[in-house]
Structure 1
Amino acid sequence: MKQELTLSYLQQYIKQFDYRPDKKTDYFLKLTEEVGELAEMIRKDSRCSATGNIKGTIEEELSDVLYYVIALANVYEIDLEKSFLLKDEWNKKKWNR
């Protein structure tokens, strides 16, 4: 059976091989770098489905952004699933959703 990809699973998975609390700033700088690369791929409208390869695509850069968001959450010991749900509840109240 294939593992379901939840935020909790991804946090645990990444923490197994990339957990460096002393590198918080580096993780953040990598995140901003990846967001810039994502912007470039969006500008180019470079999609995996069009190329048949993930390299140099929006899909690749979104995955990289997600990785560094998770790495930062890990070093700050933030449960992203819990945070997301709390923020979603706040948004529902704020925006009357």
Structure 2
Amino acid sequence: MSTTIKYLQEYIKSKDNHPELIKDYFLKLTEETGELSEAIRKNKIRKENSSVKGTVDEEIWDVIYYAIAIANCYDIDLEKTIKDKEKINAEKYNSNVVFQEDK
């Protein structure tokens, strides 16, 4: 099984869904973005078979997690939004790369 955006949204919603805490989710997102910035600045790359703790890998997941939690608060279907936004981006940036979905 592959990990889809839909699965991640459902997974996060099942364990952490508190729309009344939207501002807290946003504060956590900005905090995690700062931690990602530090990990990138210090080039904390995960080495094979090592812990993810404190690495760019970990901080990217934390940023994604809180972005998805915020999307869930607004009942945003991220898979649909990604498709819609990529259509706009393709026109805006004249990209030759086509966004395709798995069938």
Equivalence for 2:101: none
Structure showing the higher helix proportion among its residues: 1
Out of 45-54 and 83-92, give the one that drifted further.
45-54
Deviation string for 1:64-91 (max 9, x for gaps)?
A: 0000001000011001111111110000
Letter aligned with residue 83 of structure 1: T
- Where structure 2 has 5 or more consecutive residues not aligned to the other structure, the ranges are 96-103
Deviation string for 1:25-84 (max 9, x for gaps)?
A: 000000000000000000000011168110010000000000000100001100111111
Q: What is the CA RMSD across the aligned residues, in angstroms?
A: 1.2
- CA distance in 2 between counterparts of 1:49 and 1:75 reads 35
Give me the TM-score of the superposition, normalised by structure 1. 0.94
- Where structure 1 has 5 or more consecutive residues not aligned to the other structure, the ranges are none
Name segments (4+ residues, structure 1) moved above 3 Å: none
1:1-97 residue pairs with structure 2 within 5 A? 3-49=1-47, 52-97=50-95
Instruction: Classify the secondary structure of the residue corresponding to 1:49.
Output: coil
Instruction: Classify the secondary structure of the residue corresponding to 1:77.
Output: coil
- CA distance in 2 between counterparts of 1:64 and 1:35 reads 8
Give me the TM-score of the superposition, normalised by structure 2. 0.89
Report sequence identity in percent.
51
Deviation string for 1:3-38 (max 9, x for gaps)?
A: 321000000011001000100000000000000000
